[in-house]
Amino acid sequence: MQAKVVAHRDFSVSKIDDRLYGSFLEHLGRAIYGGIYEPGHPSADEDGFRRDVLDLVKDLNTPCCRYPGGNFVSAYNWEDGIGPRSERPVRLDLAWRTRERNQIGVNEFVDWCKKANTAPMLAVNLGSRGLDAARNFLEYCNHPGGTYWSDLRRKHGWASPHDVKLWCLGNEMDGPWQVGHKSAYEYGRLADETAKAMRGFDPSLELVVCGSSHSDMKTYPDWEATVLTECYDSADYISLHMYFANRERDTLGYLAKAEKLDRYITTVGGVIDYVKAKKRSKKTIGISFDEWNVWYHSNQQDKEILARNEWPDAPHLLEDVYNFEDVLQVGGILNTFIRRSDRVRIACIAQLVNVIAPIMTQDGGPAWRQTIYYPLYFASKYGRGTALRLVVDSPTYDCDEENDVPYLDVSAVHDEEANALSFFIVNRHMTDALDLDARLEGFGAAHVVEQVSIRHDDLNATNTASEPEKVAPVRGGDAKIEDGRLRATLKPLSYNLIRLSV
Protein backbone atom coordinates (compact mmCIF):
# COMPACT_ATOMS: atom_id res chain seq x y z
CA MET A 1 0.00 0.00 0.00
CA GLN A 2 1.23 3.45 -0.84
CA ALA A 3 0.71 6.71 1.02
CA LYS A 4 1.69 10.07 -0.43
CA VAL A 5 2.59 13.26 1.39
CA VAL A 6 3.59 16.73 0.23
CA ALA A 7 5.60 18.86 2.65
CA HIS A 8 6.29 22.45 1.58
CA ARG A 9 8.61 24.63 3.62
CA ASP A 10 6.27 27.64 3.36
CA PHE A 11 3.01 25.82 4.15
CA SER A 12 2.94 25.87 7.89
CA VAL A 13 0.34 25.51 10.66
CA SER A 14 2.09 27.46 13.36
CA LYS A 15 5.25 27.96 15.34
CA ILE A 16 4.81 25.37 18.09
CA ASP A 17 4.75 26.59 21.68
CA ASP A 18 7.27 24.33 23.44
CA ARG A 19 4.70 23.84 26.19
CA LEU A 20 2.89 21.43 23.88
CA TYR A 21 5.09 18.86 25.65
CA GLY A 22 4.05 19.77 29.19
CA SER A 23 3.23 17.37 32.01
CA PHE A 24 1.22 17.07 35.20
CA LEU A 25 1.77 15.92 38.78
CA GLU A 26 -1.15 15.61 41.17
CA HIS A 27 -1.30 14.68 44.82
CA LEU A 28 -2.80 11.36 43.79
CA GLY A 29 -1.64 7.82 44.50
CA ARG A 30 2.14 7.54 44.22
CA ALA A 31 2.75 10.46 41.88
CA ILE A 32 4.33 12.61 44.58
CA TYR A 33 5.03 10.20 47.47
CA GLY A 34 6.99 7.24 46.10
CA GLY A 35 7.11 8.97 42.71
CA ILE A 36 9.14 12.15 42.68
CA TYR A 37 9.69 12.17 46.47
CA GLU A 38 10.94 9.24 48.50
CA PRO A 39 13.36 10.17 51.28
CA GLY A 40 15.31 7.07 52.21
CA HIS A 41 15.34 5.75 48.66
CA PRO A 42 18.92 4.87 47.56
CA SER A 43 18.75 7.52 44.84
CA ALA A 44 17.17 10.26 47.00
CA ASP A 45 18.96 13.61 47.05
CA GLU A 46 19.35 15.93 50.04
CA ASP A 47 15.70 17.04 49.63
CA GLY A 48 14.31 13.53 49.35
CA PHE A 49 13.74 13.71 45.59
CA ARG A 50 14.47 10.54 43.65
CA ARG A 51 17.42 11.19 41.33
CA ASP A 52 16.54 8.22 39.12
CA VAL A 53 13.12 9.77 38.46
CA LEU A 54 14.64 13.22 37.95
CA ASP A 55 16.95 11.80 35.30
CA LEU A 56 14.05 10.26 33.37
CA VAL A 57 12.04 13.49 33.66
CA LYS A 58 14.99 15.61 32.52
CA ASP A 59 15.40 13.39 29.44
CA LEU A 60 11.77 14.05 28.55
CA ASN A 61 12.57 17.77 28.61
CA THR A 62 9.05 18.73 29.67
CA PRO A 63 8.80 22.55 29.63
CA CYS A 64 6.04 22.90 32.23
CA CYS A 65 4.45 20.77 34.92
CA ARG A 66 0.91 21.33 36.22
CA TYR A 67 0.39 20.97 40.00
CA PRO A 68 -1.18 20.09 42.50
CA GLY A 69 -4.29 18.78 40.69
CA GLY A 70 -6.53 17.61 39.15
CA ASN A 71 -9.53 16.76 41.25
CA PHE A 72 -7.31 17.04 44.33
CA VAL A 73 -7.01 20.81 44.00
CA SER A 74 -10.75 21.41 44.39
CA ALA A 75 -10.66 20.77 48.15
CA TYR A 76 -7.01 21.65 48.77
CA ASN A 77 -5.80 24.30 51.19
CA TRP A 78 -2.49 25.43 49.76
CA GLU A 79 -1.48 26.71 53.23
CA ASP A 80 -1.40 23.08 54.46
CA GLY A 81 1.72 22.50 52.38
CA ILE A 82 3.90 25.35 53.72
CA GLY A 83 5.97 25.87 56.87
CA PRO A 84 7.83 23.31 58.98
CA ARG A 85 6.98 19.82 57.80
CA SER A 86 6.33 18.51 61.30
CA GLU A 87 3.60 21.11 61.82
CA ARG A 88 1.72 20.47 58.59
CA PRO A 89 -1.74 18.98 59.03
CA VAL A 90 -2.76 15.51 57.90
CA ARG A 91 -5.99 15.83 55.89
CA LEU A 92 -8.50 13.68 54.09
CA ASP A 93 -8.34 14.12 50.33
CA LEU A 94 -11.97 13.83 49.24
CA ALA A 95 -11.17 13.40 45.54
CA TRP A 96 -9.15 10.20 45.87
CA ARG A 97 -10.24 9.06 49.35
CA THR A 98 -6.66 9.18 50.54
CA ARG A 99 -4.80 10.55 53.58
CA GLU A 100 -2.65 13.54 52.65
CA ARG A 101 0.32 14.26 54.91
CA ASN A 102 1.34 17.47 53.15
CA GLN A 103 5.04 16.68 53.19
CA ILE A 104 5.32 18.26 49.75
CA GLY A 105 3.80 21.67 49.12
CA VAL A 106 4.32 24.50 46.71
CA ASN A 107 7.84 25.44 47.85
CA GLU A 108 9.18 21.91 47.56
CA PHE A 109 7.41 21.48 44.21
CA VAL A 110 9.07 24.62 42.83
CA ASP A 111 12.44 23.30 44.05
CA TRP A 112 11.75 20.01 42.28
CA CYS A 113 10.83 21.87 39.07
CA LYS A 114 14.20 23.62 39.11
CA LYS A 115 15.98 20.28 39.44
CA ALA A 116 13.82 18.82 36.65
CA ASN A 117 14.40 21.80 34.30
CA THR A 118 10.72 22.52 34.07
CA ALA A 119 8.44 25.44 34.96
CA PRO A 120 5.57 25.18 37.45
CA MET A 121 2.01 25.61 36.15
CA LEU A 122 -0.02 26.07 39.33
CA ALA A 123 -3.73 25.45 39.83
CA VAL A 124 -5.82 27.38 42.36
CA ASN A 125 -8.79 25.89 44.17
CA LEU A 126 -12.05 27.30 42.80
CA GLY A 127 -14.07 24.38 44.17
CA SER A 128 -14.21 24.59 47.95
CA ARG A 129 -12.47 28.01 47.95
CA GLY A 130 -12.27 31.05 45.72
CA LEU A 131 -10.79 34.39 44.84
CA ASP A 132 -9.37 35.25 48.25
CA ALA A 133 -7.35 32.06 48.70
CA ALA A 134 -6.16 32.38 45.09
CA ARG A 135 -4.85 35.92 45.48
CA ASN A 136 -3.11 35.04 48.76
CA PHE A 137 -1.50 31.99 47.16
CA LEU A 138 -0.27 34.16 44.30
CA GLU A 139 1.16 36.78 46.67
CA TYR A 140 2.88 34.06 48.73
CA CYS A 141 4.48 32.63 45.61
CA ASN A 142 5.37 35.67 43.56
CA HIS A 143 5.77 38.81 45.68
CA PRO A 144 9.40 39.58 46.63
CA GLY A 145 8.78 40.58 50.27
CA GLY A 146 7.49 43.20 52.68
CA THR A 147 3.91 41.87 52.91
CA TYR A 148 2.29 39.29 55.16
CA TRP A 149 2.26 36.41 52.63
CA SER A 150 5.58 37.13 50.93
CA ASP A 151 7.35 37.53 54.27
CA LEU A 152 5.87 34.23 55.38
CA ARG A 153 7.45 32.56 52.34
CA ARG A 154 10.76 34.19 53.21
CA LYS A 155 10.44 33.01 56.80
CA HIS A 156 9.84 29.48 55.48
CA GLY A 157 13.21 29.62 53.75
CA TRP A 158 12.43 30.77 50.20
CA ALA A 159 13.83 34.29 49.97
CA SER A 160 13.33 34.72 46.23
CA PRO A 161 9.86 34.78 44.73
CA HIS A 162 8.91 31.74 42.67
CA ASP A 163 7.75 33.92 39.80
CA VAL A 164 5.15 31.45 38.54
CA LYS A 165 3.62 32.85 35.35
CA LEU A 166 1.12 30.18 34.30
CA TRP A 167 -1.98 29.57 36.47
CA CYS A 168 -5.04 27.34 36.11
CA LEU A 169 -8.26 28.73 37.55
CA GLY A 170 -9.71 25.55 39.05
CA ASN A 171 -9.98 22.09 37.59
CA GLU A 172 -12.78 20.39 35.63
CA MET A 173 -15.43 22.63 37.15
CA ASP A 174 -18.00 21.20 34.70
CA GLY A 175 -17.72 17.77 36.38
CA PRO A 176 -20.41 16.76 38.89
CA TRP A 177 -17.68 14.68 40.61
CA GLN A 178 -15.73 17.84 41.41
CA VAL A 179 -15.83 19.24 44.95
CA GLY A 180 -17.54 22.60 44.47
CA HIS A 181 -18.86 21.78 40.97
CA LYS A 182 -20.52 24.80 39.36
CA SER A 183 -22.77 25.72 36.50
CA ALA A 184 -21.03 27.29 33.50
CA TYR A 185 -22.35 30.72 34.42
CA GLU A 186 -21.32 30.44 38.10
CA TYR A 187 -17.87 29.25 37.14
CA GLY A 188 -17.44 31.80 34.34
CA ARG A 189 -18.24 34.65 36.75
CA LEU A 190 -15.91 33.30 39.44
CA ALA A 191 -13.10 32.72 36.94
CA ASP A 192 -13.48 36.25 35.61
CA GLU A 193 -13.36 37.86 39.07
CA THR A 194 -10.44 35.65 40.15
CA ALA A 195 -8.55 36.47 36.97
CA LYS A 196 -9.12 40.19 37.49
CA ALA A 197 -7.82 39.99 41.07
CA MET A 198 -4.76 37.99 40.00
CA ARG A 199 -4.05 40.41 37.16
CA GLY A 200 -4.35 43.23 39.70
CA PHE A 201 -1.15 41.79 41.15
CA ASP A 202 0.54 41.00 37.81
CA PRO A 203 -1.09 41.78 34.44
CA SER A 204 1.45 39.60 32.64
CA LEU A 205 0.25 36.30 34.16
CA GLU A 206 -1.03 33.64 31.77
CA LEU A 207 -4.39 32.34 32.96
CA VAL A 208 -6.17 29.12 32.00
CA VAL A 209 -9.92 28.74 32.55
CA CYS A 210 -11.75 25.40 32.65
CA GLY A 211 -13.36 24.02 29.53
CA SER A 212 -14.92 20.58 29.29
CA SER A 213 -13.62 17.48 31.06
CA HIS A 214 -14.26 15.56 27.87
CA SER A 215 -16.28 15.91 24.70
CA ASP A 216 -18.98 13.48 25.92
CA MET A 217 -20.01 15.78 28.76
CA LYS A 218 -23.71 16.72 28.53
CA THR A 219 -22.80 20.38 28.92
CA TYR A 220 -20.24 20.38 26.05
CA PRO A 221 -19.88 22.67 24.08
CA ASP A 222 -22.38 25.07 25.67
CA TRP A 223 -20.07 25.09 28.68
CA GLU A 224 -17.27 26.69 26.67
CA ALA A 225 -19.63 29.26 25.11
CA THR A 226 -21.06 30.35 28.47
CA VAL A 227 -17.78 30.34 30.38
CA LEU A 228 -15.98 32.29 27.68
CA THR A 229 -18.83 34.77 27.39
CA GLU A 230 -18.20 35.58 31.07
CA CYS A 231 -14.41 35.66 31.08
CA TYR A 232 -13.07 35.94 27.52
CA ASP A 233 -11.28 39.22 28.16
CA SER A 234 -9.52 38.04 31.31
CA ALA A 235 -8.45 34.56 30.12
CA ASP A 236 -5.57 33.47 27.92
CA TYR A 237 -6.39 29.80 27.46
CA ILE A 238 -9.31 27.44 27.84
CA SER A 239 -8.44 24.04 29.23
CA LEU A 240 -9.62 20.76 27.67
CA HIS A 241 -9.15 17.20 28.92
CA MET A 242 -9.50 13.84 27.19
CA TYR A 243 -8.59 10.26 28.09
CA PHE A 244 -8.53 7.28 25.73
CA ALA A 245 -9.42 3.63 26.35
CA ASN A 246 -9.60 0.38 24.43
CA ARG A 247 -12.07 -1.52 26.60
CA GLU A 248 -13.61 -3.17 23.52
CA ARG A 249 -10.21 -4.60 22.50
CA ASP A 250 -10.69 -3.15 19.01
CA THR A 251 -7.34 -1.80 17.83
CA LEU A 252 -8.55 0.03 14.73
CA GLY A 253 -11.43 1.64 16.64
CA TYR A 254 -9.05 2.63 19.42
CA LEU A 255 -6.56 4.25 17.06
CA ALA A 256 -9.39 6.12 15.31
CA LYS A 257 -10.14 8.01 18.53
CA ALA A 258 -7.47 10.56 17.68
CA GLU A 259 -9.94 11.76 15.00
CA LYS A 260 -12.45 12.53 17.74
CA LEU A 261 -9.76 14.54 19.49
CA ASP A 262 -9.26 16.53 16.29
CA ARG A 263 -13.00 17.30 16.11
CA TYR A 264 -13.01 18.34 19.78
CA ILE A 265 -10.27 20.88 19.04
CA THR A 266 -12.08 22.11 15.92
CA THR A 267 -15.34 22.59 17.81
CA VAL A 268 -13.80 24.45 20.72
CA GLY A 269 -11.80 26.53 18.25
CA GLY A 270 -15.13 27.48 16.68
CA VAL A 271 -16.58 28.44 20.07
CA ILE A 272 -13.53 30.60 20.76
CA ASP A 273 -14.04 32.37 17.42
CA TYR A 274 -17.75 32.79 18.13
CA VAL A 275 -17.19 34.44 21.52
CA LYS A 276 -14.32 36.48 20.13
CA ALA A 277 -16.69 37.86 17.46
CA LYS A 278 -19.44 38.49 20.02
CA LYS A 279 -16.98 40.45 22.17
CA ARG A 280 -15.53 42.32 19.18
CA SER A 281 -12.18 41.19 20.59
CA LYS A 282 -8.84 41.26 18.82
CA LYS A 283 -7.47 38.50 21.05
CA THR A 284 -7.73 34.78 20.16
CA ILE A 285 -7.44 32.68 23.26
CA GLY A 286 -5.63 29.35 22.93
CA ILE A 287 -6.39 25.82 24.07
CA SER A 288 -4.48 24.36 26.99
CA PHE A 289 -5.01 20.60 26.65
CA ASP A 290 -3.75 20.12 30.16
CA GLU A 291 -4.83 16.51 30.73
CA TRP A 292 -4.53 13.83 28.08
CA ASN A 293 -3.45 10.22 27.99
CA VAL A 294 -4.58 6.62 27.82
CA TRP A 295 -6.44 5.66 31.00
CA TYR A 296 -8.26 2.38 31.52
CA HIS A 297 -5.85 -0.43 32.39
CA SER A 298 -6.05 0.30 36.11
CA ASN A 299 -9.82 0.91 36.39
CA GLN A 300 -10.64 -2.44 38.05
CA GLN A 301 -7.76 -2.25 40.54
CA ASP A 302 -8.79 1.31 41.44
CA LYS A 303 -12.36 0.24 42.12
CA GLU A 304 -11.10 -2.40 44.51
CA ILE A 305 -8.74 -0.02 46.34
CA LEU A 306 -11.42 2.66 46.71
CA ALA A 307 -14.08 0.14 47.78
CA ARG A 308 -11.95 -0.77 50.81
CA ASN A 309 -12.67 2.70 52.19
CA GLU A 310 -9.43 2.74 54.18
CA TRP A 311 -8.17 6.28 53.41
CA PRO A 312 -4.61 5.00 52.83
CA ASP A 313 -1.43 7.07 52.32
CA ALA A 314 -0.18 7.13 48.70
CA PRO A 315 -2.04 4.02 47.45
CA HIS A 316 -1.36 2.34 44.09
CA LEU A 317 -4.10 4.31 42.31
CA LEU A 318 -4.37 4.86 38.54
CA GLU A 319 -1.23 2.77 37.93
CA ASP A 320 -1.90 1.92 34.29
CA VAL A 321 0.71 -0.42 32.88
CA TYR A 322 0.94 0.62 29.25
CA ASN A 323 1.38 -1.74 26.34
CA PHE A 324 2.73 -1.48 22.81
CA GLU A 325 -0.71 -0.61 21.39
CA ASP A 326 -0.72 2.49 23.62
CA VAL A 327 2.52 3.67 21.95
CA LEU A 328 0.55 3.95 18.70
CA GLN A 329 -2.28 5.78 20.42
CA VAL A 330 0.00 8.27 22.20
CA GLY A 331 1.93 8.80 18.95
CA GLY A 332 -1.39 9.60 17.24
CA ILE A 333 -2.48 12.01 19.99
CA LEU A 334 0.83 13.88 19.75
CA ASN A 335 0.50 14.03 15.96
CA THR A 336 -2.92 15.61 16.41
CA PHE A 337 -1.54 18.22 18.80
CA ILE A 338 1.28 19.07 16.39
CA ARG A 339 -1.16 19.37 13.47
CA ARG A 340 -3.47 21.55 15.59
CA SER A 341 -0.75 23.60 17.24
CA ASP A 342 -2.39 26.75 15.87
CA ARG A 343 -5.11 26.18 18.50
CA VAL A 344 -3.44 23.93 21.08
CA ARG A 345 -0.64 25.99 22.58
CA ILE A 346 -0.16 24.02 25.80
CA ALA A 347 -0.70 20.31 26.43
CA CYS A 348 0.12 18.27 29.52
CA ILE A 349 0.39 14.52 29.56
CA ALA A 350 -1.53 13.26 32.59
CA GLN A 351 0.39 12.41 34.47
CA LEU A 352 4.18 12.18 34.82
CA VAL A 353 5.10 9.53 37.39
CA ASN A 354 3.24 6.34 38.47
CA VAL A 355 -0.28 7.77 38.04
CA ILE A 356 -1.28 7.11 34.37
CA ALA A 357 2.29 8.00 33.59
CA PRO A 358 5.21 7.44 31.23
CA ILE A 359 7.51 6.85 34.23
CA MET A 360 6.94 4.08 36.75
CA THR A 361 8.68 3.37 40.05
CA GLN A 362 8.81 0.71 42.73
CA ASP A 363 8.90 1.94 46.31
CA GLY A 364 12.52 1.44 47.35
CA GLY A 365 13.22 -0.06 43.91
CA PRO A 366 13.93 1.00 40.34
CA ALA A 367 12.33 3.56 38.05
CA TRP A 368 11.75 2.77 34.38
CA ARG A 369 10.22 4.02 31.13
CA GLN A 370 6.76 2.78 30.33
CA THR A 371 6.08 2.09 26.64
CA ILE A 372 4.41 5.48 26.10
CA TYR A 373 7.51 7.30 27.31
CA TYR A 374 9.09 6.98 23.88
CA PRO A 375 6.65 8.79 21.55
CA LEU A 376 6.53 11.64 24.05
CA TYR A 377 10.31 11.70 24.28
CA PHE A 378 10.72 11.90 20.51
CA ALA A 379 8.02 14.55 20.05
CA SER A 380 9.45 16.67 22.87
CA LYS A 381 12.99 16.34 21.54
CA TYR A 382 12.41 16.77 17.80
CA GLY A 383 8.95 18.35 17.63
CA ARG A 384 10.04 21.92 18.33
CA GLY A 385 9.90 24.49 15.56
CA THR A 386 7.21 25.02 12.93
CA ALA A 387 4.44 22.49 12.36
CA LEU A 388 3.92 21.92 8.63
CA ARG A 389 0.56 21.82 6.89
CA LEU A 390 0.99 18.53 5.05
CA VAL A 391 -1.08 17.28 2.17
CA VAL A 392 -1.74 13.60 2.84
CA ASP A 393 -3.15 11.00 0.46
CA SER A 394 -3.52 7.75 2.36
CA PRO A 395 -5.75 4.69 2.08
CA THR A 396 -8.45 4.82 4.77
CA TYR A 397 -10.67 2.51 6.84
CA ASP A 398 -14.11 2.66 8.42
CA CYS A 399 -14.83 1.43 11.93
CA ASP A 400 -17.53 1.78 14.61
CA GLU A 401 -15.87 4.96 15.87
CA GLU A 402 -15.26 6.83 12.60
CA ASN A 403 -15.27 6.64 8.83
CA ASP A 404 -12.41 7.48 6.49
CA VAL A 405 -9.64 7.09 9.05
CA PRO A 406 -6.27 7.36 7.27
CA TYR A 407 -3.94 4.43 7.86
CA LEU A 408 -1.09 6.92 7.66
CA ASP A 409 -1.13 9.24 10.65
CA VAL A 410 1.61 11.80 10.19
CA SER A 411 2.89 15.16 11.42
CA ALA A 412 6.03 17.05 10.51
CA VAL A 413 8.03 19.75 12.26
CA HIS A 414 10.61 22.02 10.64
CA ASP A 415 13.25 23.29 13.03
CA GLU A 416 14.66 26.24 11.07
CA GLU A 417 17.51 26.85 13.50
CA ALA A 418 18.78 23.29 13.38
CA ASN A 419 17.99 22.85 9.64
CA ALA A 420 16.07 19.75 10.60
CA LEU A 421 12.81 18.27 9.38
CA SER A 422 11.22 15.51 11.46
CA PHE A 423 8.33 13.25 10.48
CA PHE A 424 6.35 11.49 13.21
CA ILE A 425 4.37 8.63 11.71
CA VAL A 426 2.00 5.90 12.85
CA ASN A 427 1.04 3.17 10.41
CA ARG A 428 -2.39 2.08 11.67
CA HIS A 429 -2.69 -0.86 9.30
CA MET A 430 -2.90 -4.18 11.14
CA THR A 431 -1.17 -6.30 8.49
CA ASP A 432 0.23 -4.20 5.66
CA ALA A 433 3.31 -2.04 5.39
CA LEU A 434 2.86 1.46 3.96
CA ASP A 435 5.25 2.70 1.29
CA LEU A 436 5.73 6.34 2.13
CA ASP A 437 6.36 8.74 -0.74
CA ALA A 438 6.79 12.25 0.67
CA ARG A 439 7.56 15.06 -1.79
CA LEU A 440 9.73 17.73 -0.18
CA GLU A 441 9.39 21.24 -1.56
CA GLY A 442 11.40 24.34 -0.79
CA PHE A 443 13.87 22.64 1.54
CA GLY A 444 16.89 22.34 -0.78
CA ALA A 445 19.06 19.27 -0.48
CA ALA A 446 17.86 16.81 2.16
CA HIS A 447 19.55 13.85 3.86
CA VAL A 448 18.24 11.18 6.17
CA VAL A 449 19.84 11.62 9.59
CA GLU A 450 18.04 8.88 11.42
CA GLN A 451 15.07 6.50 11.26
CA VAL A 452 13.70 5.09 14.49
CA SER A 453 10.74 2.78 14.89
CA ILE A 454 8.82 1.13 17.69
CA ARG A 455 7.19 -2.20 16.96
CA HIS A 456 6.27 -5.36 18.77
CA ASP A 457 4.55 -8.54 17.62
CA ASP A 458 2.45 -8.51 20.77
CA LEU A 459 0.16 -5.49 21.12
CA ASN A 460 -0.09 -6.27 24.83
CA ALA A 461 3.66 -6.22 25.47
CA THR A 462 4.57 -4.01 28.46
CA ASN A 463 7.68 -2.70 30.18
CA THR A 464 8.05 -3.80 33.79
CA ALA A 465 10.64 -3.60 36.57
CA SER A 466 12.02 -6.98 35.54
CA GLU A 467 11.79 -6.31 31.77
CA PRO A 468 12.07 -2.54 31.48
CA GLU A 469 12.96 -2.46 27.77
CA LYS A 470 10.70 -5.04 26.21
CA VAL A 471 9.12 -2.28 24.11
CA ALA A 472 11.77 0.19 23.01
CA PRO A 473 12.80 2.15 19.92
CA VAL A 474 15.02 0.53 17.34
CA ARG A 475 17.29 2.53 15.02
CA GLY A 476 17.50 1.76 11.30
CA GLY A 477 15.24 1.27 8.31
CA ASP A 478 15.18 1.91 4.59
CA ALA A 479 14.36 5.67 4.58
CA LYS A 480 16.11 7.42 1.74
CA ILE A 481 15.89 10.60 -0.35
CA GLU A 482 15.36 10.11 -4.09
CA ASP A 483 14.66 12.98 -6.51
CA GLY A 484 13.59 15.31 -3.70
CA ARG A 485 11.26 12.68 -2.19
CA LEU A 486 11.50 10.86 1.10
CA ARG A 487 10.75 7.19 0.65
CA ALA A 488 10.44 4.66 3.43
CA THR A 489 8.69 1.41 4.26
CA LEU A 490 6.57 1.71 7.39
CA LYS A 491 5.83 -1.63 8.96
CA PRO A 492 2.25 -2.57 9.95
CA LEU A 493 1.20 -1.19 13.35
CA SER A 494 4.36 0.79 13.87
CA TYR A 495 5.46 4.13 15.31
CA ASN A 496 8.19 5.86 13.28
CA LEU A 497 10.40 8.90 13.52
CA ILE A 498 12.33 9.96 10.43
CA ARG A 499 14.74 12.87 10.83
CA LEU A 500 16.17 14.76 7.89
CA SER A 501 18.74 17.50 7.62
CA VAL A 502 17.51 20.11 5.12
**Active-site annotation holds for 291:** yes
- Tell me how far apart the alpha carbons of residues 55 and 109 are, in angstroms, rounded to a whole number: 16
Amino acid sitting at position 314: A
**Active-site annotation holds for 172:** yes
CB-based contacts of 246: which residues, under 8 Å, 6+ apart? 253, 254, 294, 296, 325, 329
- Tell me how far apart the alpha carbons of residues 405 and 401 are, in angstroms, rounded to a whole number: 9
Does residue 172 belong to the site contacting ligand AHR (CB under 6 A)? yes
- Tell me how far apart the alpha carbons of residues 380 and 60 are, in angstroms, rounded to a whole number: 7
Closest approach of ligand AHR to the CB of residue 498, in Å: 32
Judged by beta carbon, residue 106 or residue 410, the one nearer ligand AHR is 106
Closest approach of ligand AHR to the CB of residue 290, in Å: 9
Number of shown-chain residues binding ligand AHR (CB under 6 A): 10
Catalytic residue among 224, 291, 319, 402: 291
Does residue 69 belong to the site contacting ligand AHR (CB under 6 A)? yes
Which of the ranges 44-52, 63-71, 190-198, 488-496 carries the binding residues for ligand AHR, by CB under 6 A? 63-71
- Tell me how far apart the alpha carbons of residues 438 and 489 are, in angstroms, rounded to a whole number: 12
DSSP per-residue string spanning 310-373: ---BS--TT----BHHHHHHHHHHHHHHHHTTTTEEEEEEE-SBSSS-SEEE-TTS-EEE-TTH
Task: Find out whether 125 and 73 touch, Cβ atoms under 8 Å.
Answer: yes
Does residue 291 belong to the site contacting ligand AHR (CB under 6 A)? yes
Per-residue binder mask for ligand AHR (CB under 6 A), 213-232, x = binder: x-------------------
Which of the ranges 64-72, 138-146, 223-231, 253-261 carries the binding residues for ligand AHR, by CB under 6 A? 64-72
Residue with the shortest CB distance to ligand AHR: 70
DSSP per-residue string spanning 237-277: EEEEEEEE--TT--HHHHHTHHHHHHHHHHHHHHHHHHHHH
Does residue 26 belong to the site contacting ligand AHR (CB under 6 A)? yes
Task: Find out whether 487 and 423 touch, Cβ atoms under 8 Å.
Answer: no
Per-residue binder mask for ligand AHR (CB under 6 A), 332-351, x = binder: ------------------xx
Catalytic residue among 108, 172, 259, 319: 172
- Tell me how far apart the alpha carbons of residues 70 and 138 are, in angstroms, rounded to a whole number: 18
Judged by beta carbon, residue 71 or residue 329, the one nearer ligand AHR is 71
Name the phi and psi angles at 116, rounded to 5.
-90, 5
Judged by beta carbon, residue 127 or residue 385, the one nearer ligand AHR is 127
Does residue 71 belong to the site contacting ligand AHR (CB under 6 A)? yes
Applying CB under 6 A, the residues found at the interface with ligand AHR are: 26, 69-71, 171-172, 213, 291, 350-351
Query: Annotated catalytic sites, by residue?
Result: 172, 291
